[in-house]
Chain A
Amino acid sequence: MALQDKYKELIDTANASGVTNLQVAETDGVLHIDGEAPSGAIKDKLWDLYGKIDPNFKAGDLIMNVDVAAAAAGTKATVTTESTDLNIRKGPGTDQPIVGKAGHLSTVTLISKTNDQWWLVKTDAGVEGYAYAQYITPKA
Chain B
Amino acid sequence: MKRKPLQWAALVLSTMILSIALSSCGVKDSTIQEKITEAAKNTPELSNITSTVKDGVVTLTGEVKDDAAKAASEAAIKAIKGVKSVENNITVTPPPPPPPATPVVSAVDEALGKGVTDATKDFPSVKAAVKDGVITLTGEIKKSSLPKLMQTLNSLKPTKIDNQLTVK
A57 with B157, Cβ < 8 A, contacts A94-B117, A94-B121 known? no
Q: Give the interface of B toward A (CB within 8 A).
A: 114-115, 117-119, 121, 143, 146-148, 150-152, 154-163, 165, 167
28 contacts between A and B (CB under 8 A): A27-B159, A28-B159, A28-B160, A30-B159, A30-B160, A56-B143, A56-B163, A56-B165, A57-B163, A58-B163, A60-B160, A60-B162, A60-B163, A63-B154, A63-B158, A63-B160, A63-B161, A64-B154, A93-B118, A94-B118, A95-B117, A116-B155, A116-B156, A117-B115, A117-B152, A117-B156, A134-B119, A134-B148
- Whole-angstrom CA separation of A28 from B162 in the bound complex: 14
**A65 in the interface (beta carbon within 8 A):** yes
List which A39-88 residues lie within 8 A (CB) of chain B: 43, 47, 51, 56-58, 60, 63-65, 67
Secondary structure of the A contact surface, majority rule = mixed
**A132 in the interface (beta carbon within 8 A):** yes
Query: Which residues on the A side are within 8 Å of B163 (C-beta)?
Result: 56-58, 60
Chain A interface size, under 10 / 10 to 19 / 20 to 34 / 35 or more:
20 to 34
Q: How far is the CB of A136 from chain B (nearest CB, A)?
A: 13
- Whole-angstrom CA separation of A117 from B121 in the bound complex: 13
- Whole-angstrom CA separation of A118 from B160 in the bound complex: 22
Which residue of the partner chain, among B118, B160, B165, contacts A117 with CB atoms under 8 Å? B118
Q: Ordered nearest first, which 5 A-B pairs have the shortest CB separation? A: A116-B155, A94-B118, A56-B167, A30-B160, A57-B150
12 additional A-B residue pairs with CB within 8 Å, beyond A67-B155, A117-B152, A132-B118: A30-B160, A47-B147, A47-B150, A56-B143, A56-B163, A56-B167, A57-B150, A60-B163, A63-B161, A65-B157, A93-B114, A93-B118
Q: How far is the CB of B121 from chain A (nearest CB, A)?
A: 5
